[in-house]
Amino acid sequence: MERTTDNRFVWLNGHVVPLQDARLHVLTPTAQFGANVFEGIRCYWSAVDSQLYAFRLEDHYARLLTSMKGMRMEGSWTVEELRQALVDVVKANGYREDIAVRQTVYLDGFGSWSDTGPLGMWVAPIPKKRMDSTDLQGLSAGISSWIRISERNLSPKIKLGANYMNSRMALLDARERGFDTALFLNEQGSVSEGVGANLCMVRGQQLITPPNTASVLEGITRNTLLQLATELGIAEVHMRDIQPAELQEADEVFLCGSAVELTPLLSIDGRRVGSGKTGPVTQSLHTAYLQVVSGEMPAYRSWLTPIY
């Protein structure tokens, strides 16, 4: 059955309920101040195995628990409880297709932004198709005049709802300037990340990405791609600061994240990147990534959690 907003199910605080009934109070600190931490998790359908695989759940939950700790959110769920909530709600929806799941821990109650509890959680899956590896759609990006938040103000390592207001400013500005998306520099003037995705650059056989100290979220996709690039011999991996001018000299630049998978950037600030088309390293990595997430590479099966 096709699910719409009218017949989707969401997990809210221990119950699977119709989306329309999953309600929070207007005075919750999450509604008032964006006091929530979350994960965006992908599950990929394998027609061969007739199975839906959640990708790197343990790593998402490790990061979610770290985000909670960072925000001094008290009270917790075990990893097993977090996993079970996701499995239950995906099953309740009966999805047998690629999906994206938002799992959010929020500050509940009637309180202030400084409260540490009570906490609530919701888990909401929606259908989201993988990108077609043979026809990767590239984007134009503009380097933002907004600087990425740093460890000195709001930690970019925490996946906090409120952090995305920094991304919002950059993205809306970029669109006003005619670009599809935005790139952030950090306080040091080096390249940081995109809006909701990490950045990688290819020069020759080198795959280069900014280090964890460059005001980035430590992305699970980025981590996956660095490992695949090395282990499959696709490229030599380097984590180092990238100066904005280097992006103009790159052969390939792409964004990576659970939502965007690998998305090539074909121009930056109006200047063409490399050939202006999806490059061979981006292409090989995307193909390998999709094989891994859909269970076609046995060596990486331990990253997958079967839903059914």
How many residues make contact with ligand PMP (CB under 6 A)? Answer: 12
Which positions from 14 through 53 interact with ligand PMP, judged by CB under 6 A? 40
- Of 197 and 214, which has the nearer Cβ to ligand PMP? 197
Task: Write down the least CB distance from residue 101 to ligand PMP, Å.
Answer: 12
Residue 198 sits in the site that holds ligand PMP (CB under 6 A): yes
- Of 9 and 303, which has the nearer Cβ to ligand PMP? 303
Contact criterion met (CB below 8 Å) for 162 and 123: no
Token couple for 67: 């985000």
Q: What angle do CA 56, 59, 65 make, to 5 degrees?
A: 140
Q: Which residues partner with 207 through β-bridges?
A: 202, 237
CA distance 247 to 202: 9
Residue 257 sits in the site that holds ligand PMP (CB under 6 A): yes
Contact criterion met (CB below 8 Å) for 301 and 295: yes
User: What string marks each residue from 140 to 179 as x (binds ligand PMP by CB under 6 A) or -?
Assistant: ----------------------------------------
Which is it for strands 119-127 and 252-257: parallel, antiparallel or unpaired? Answer: unpaired
- Of 9 and 182, which has the nearer Cβ to ligand PMP? 182
Count other C-beta atoms under 10 Å from residue 195's C-beta. Answer: 23
- Of 120 and 257, which has the nearer Cβ to ligand PMP? 257
Residue found under tokens 């990147």: 273
Contacts with ligand PMP by CB under 6 A lie at 40, 193, 196-198, 217, 219-222, 257-258
